[in-house]
Amino acid sequence: MAPPAAADLIPILAQAQKPEDVLPSESLTAFDEHIQLSKVRLLARLEGQSLFVAPQGSDGVCLLRVGATGALLRSDCSKLDAFAAGGLQIKGDHGVPAVWLVPLGWKSDTEAASGWTMVAENLFAKKP
């Protein structure tokens, strides 16, 4: 059985790229993880920051937090098999919520009990 593609786990990646999905040039200089720029998608705007997702090669995915100035603040990447098993998180700090990107069909009752709130499809946030 072939491993799932990123768009199978994160449906927004199957949608056409819109102007707001393009990463700011300021963040590109700080991020060199071989992401597919034409497949970057904006997941949400939260606390003045933008959260983007992008496939990484053929077997990975990256979650990026970009500040209001366009600078890359935090990022994390994962292989798709690891992402399918547990999602991908970026820790919060200085009053900024942590975020957790989960795969399509994620079934868990622990999010609400642990303080996670869904802020977009496949995306949870948790206040520090």
- pLDDT for the residue 2: 67
Residue 21, CA distances (Å) to 3, 15, 24, 30 in order: 26, 11, 9, 18
Taking only the tens place, the pLDDT of each residue in 99-108 is 999 999 887 6
- In the chain, the largest separation of any two C-alpha atoms, in whole Å, equals 43
Give the residue ranges of DSSP H helices in 10-104: 25-28, 80-86
- pLDDT for the residue 77: 92
Best CA proximity match to 6, nearest among 75, 84, 66, 76: 84
Mean pLDDT, the chain, whole residue set: 87
Query: Which pTM value belongs to this model?
Result: 0.90
Taking only the tens place, the pLDDT of each residue in 49-61 is 999 999 988 899 9
Task: Note down pLDDT in tens along the chain; length 128 residues.
Answer: 666 889 999 999 999 999 999 998 888 766 666 788 899 999 999 988 999 999 988 899 999 999 999 998 988 999 999 999 889 999 887 777 899 999 998 876 666 668 888 899 899 999 87
**Where are the strands (E) in 20-97, listed by range?**
41-46, 49-56, 60-66, 72-79, 88-90
